[in-house]
Structure formats: structure tokens, C-alpha cells
Amino acid sequence: MTDRTVLISGAGIAGPALAFWLRRYGFHPTVVERAAGPRPGGQAVDVRGTARQVLDRMGLTARVRAEGVTERGMAYVDARGGVTCRMPVHAFAGEGIVAEIEIERGDLSRLLYEQTRAEVEYVFDDSIETLTDTGDGVRVTFTRTAPRTVDLVVAADGMHSRTRALAFGPEAAHVRPLGAYLAHFTTPYPNTDGWFLLHNAPGGRVVGTRPTRAGGTSALFSFVSPPLDVDRRDVAAQHRLLAGRFADVGWRAGELLAVMADAPDFYFDAYGQVHAQRWSAGRVALLGDAAWCPSPLTGQGTSLSLVGAYVLAGELAAAGGDHTRAFARYEAVLRSHVRKGQELPGGGISGFLPASRTAIRLRDASMRAMTSRPLRRLTTRLFFSQADGLDLPEYAAAR
């Protein structure tokens, strides 16, 4: 095996999952993460389709299910809290849909870290500053720790990947804004009904609540907007922006905004997708959201990260560490699956964030129709097939 040492940037989902498989195949991964430790909190994420097979092969399905979030389904409500339409989790069970696994992002990240920390070097509170591909390796400097030379580098540090920018060029060349923003955070309010509730308001705005594993409530805010000049690190400015945008929305918007400043896991970002023409450059590869972020609208980000990590590690093992051959195979196996996973649900942003009261009513009527028995089979093909369709390769373990 020629290329054995692999530096992975990012300890979210894709990074630790890749480290898991690399260790199984005899590689020596190191994960560097800017945060001081595994990031807690975050919205519930889905593990669907082929990604469930990856969890099974990792031996993690039981643990993930045990720490999962149980939701009864999704429902839209009016300003008084009355349900206008709902989609129960069992609505499509008769159409051959296997229930997806839902777990809070922070919990899945922690489980992957716990599964790998005994055999994988983790460097927290640090980040990559420079990369120099020498042909025989990659010379890396860091913000805090001493430089080192590794065989390969993998950028798994999200849509706004700094590592991708170093090796592939500026973010604008890869990220396509979708014309909206989102924020989410945990609240001190209990959740007693188990439903993911959403209230739309004219002007392309939505506020939502969904249950957490601990029986609490997580808040969601989204709104349509052209690009905004808001620093991603200026949380106070983001708070002011949300308070102004949702001041007149009603339902539970006011009480959720009132506790926003105290949330330990407040998150704000634009909706976007990553479309990279290539996922490797020399000895540096892209993985997960850094390579193909599908946007939260698709619900595919976590599943694609798990599948991508499995395939990238497997192809490196199958190629005996020959990164040139492995990276080419990695793209060949995954490109069409990722393209399918990036398909936005019906209506895209405008479907999720209708602009007018009339559009909101039409969306509600459409959802009621989708869950009706005559249209369930068509809905299944349109919305639930993106996570399937990949014949997951079998890779022989090196040890």
C-alpha cells in the first residue's frame, strides 16, 4: 500500500465515517477539527436508503436507533396552531418505504467519534492553514500545531470548506445559492406531541418546531432572500435580522425568538448546493458537503456523507492506496447517485417557502393530495427514491 497517512479536515459526519473505514482497511487517518470537540445539538438528520446499509456494515444501526429522534410526522399549521395538512411517518409504509432513521446531528457525530477515537488521532481546536502538494505527499501547516507531511488530504469540512478553497479555488466557483436562509437552535420548551410543525407566512417565511431526543423543542426559521451581507460569525447581527424578519409572523414565532439569544447551538446560514466539477486535485479529495452539499431541503446530506465515506475508503483500499486510481473510481461510482440526491423536492425553495397566502393554500392542498391513496405511489417515486439506487460495492477488509 503506497498512500497510508490521510489527513481529514472536519469532524462532523463525513470525516469520522471516513476515518472509521480507513482504519478498517489499514490506513492511518488523522482528523483535524476547528471546534474544541464534537459539536453538540443541531437539527434531526435522516439516514435513508443505501446509507442504512452503510450503518449496518459499521455495526452502528442499533446504537443510532437507540439515540434517535421519534417523530410522528410533519404538519403545517395556521397562525392559531390549527393543522392545515399533515404527513404522518407511516403515510407511505404501504408503498414499500422503509422508515428512515432520524437522529440529531450532534448525536450522530458523537457516536462516530466514540466509535473511532481509540484508533484515530483527533486534533481539535485547530485547522489547516496551507497545503503544498509536492507530488510525493502533501505538506500541511496548521493554525496551532506543528507542520506535517501526509500522503493524502480529504476536505470534509462542509459547504464553506476552507480546505477546498486552498486546493480547488474560491467558494464562489463551487457553491450555488438557492435564494433563502435558515436558522435553527434548541429551546427550553418541552415537546409533548411529537410532531414536526411548520407555519408559513406570506413573504416566503416559515417558522417551525420539532421534537428533540430529550423531549424538548428545536426551533427552525427560514426565509427567502437575495444574498445578504451578514458575517457568518456575527451571531448578534443574525439575531437582529431574524427578529426583524419574523416580528409579524405570529403563531409561536415570538416566544421562540425570545429565547434565541440563550441557545448554545444557534446556527445560521444560506441555503446552497455545492457543484464541484471534480472531487480530487492531485493528492487532495473532497467528501460530503464540501464536495456535493445537496442543501437541507433534500434531507440527503447525512446519507450521502455516509455512503461517500464508505466508497472513498473502499476504493483507496481496493487500489492498494494508489490515490490516482482510487479517486477516479470514487467519482465514477458516486457521481450519478449524488446527482440524484441533489434533486430538490417539488417546487424547490418556493415550494417550501411560498410567497403568498394563495400559494400557501395551494401547497397545503398539494400535500393533502400527495398523501391520499390514489397518489401515494406517484409521490413515492418523486420524493422517496433519491436515497436508493446505488448498488453498494463490497470491499475486502485489509485486516
CATH code, domain with 141 = 3.50.50.60
Domain total of the chain: 1
Give the residue from 394, 398, 396, 276 showing the smallest Cα distance to 333: 394
249 within domain boundaries? no
Paired with 156 in beta bridges are none
Q: What is the pLDDT of residue 95?
A: 45
Name the phi and psi angles at 33, rounded to 5. Answer: -140, 130
156 within domain boundaries? yes
- The Cα–Cα gap between 316 and 223 comes to 41
> Three-class SS string for 257-319?
HHCHHHCCCCEEEEEEEECCCCCEECCEEECCHHHHCCCHHHCCHHHHHHHHHHHHHHHHHHC
Paired with 184 in beta bridges are 220, 267
Q: What is the pLDDT of residue 114?
A: 97
241 within domain boundaries? no
Q: How many residues are listed for the chain in this entry?
A: 399
* Ranges of the chain with pLDDT below 50: 94-97, 398-399
Q: DSSP code of 373?
A: G
Structural domain of 42 = 5-70+101-174+273-341
137 within domain boundaries? yes
22 within domain boundaries? yes
201 within domain boundaries? no
Q: What is the pLDDT of residue 188?
A: 95
Paired with 176 in beta bridges are 273
- Cα–Cα distance list, 359 to 197, 327, 347, 351 (Å): 18, 45, 11, 9
Assign 83 to helix, strand or coil. Answer: strand
323 within domain boundaries? yes
Q: What is the pLDDT of residue 398?
A: 47
Q: What is the pLDDT of residue 214?
A: 87
The model carries a pTM of: 0.93
The residue to which cell 394563495 is assigned: 358
360 within domain boundaries? no
Q: Are 295 and 273 in contact (CB under 8 A)?
A: yes
301-318 helix and 323-341 helix, angle to the nearest 10 degrees: 160
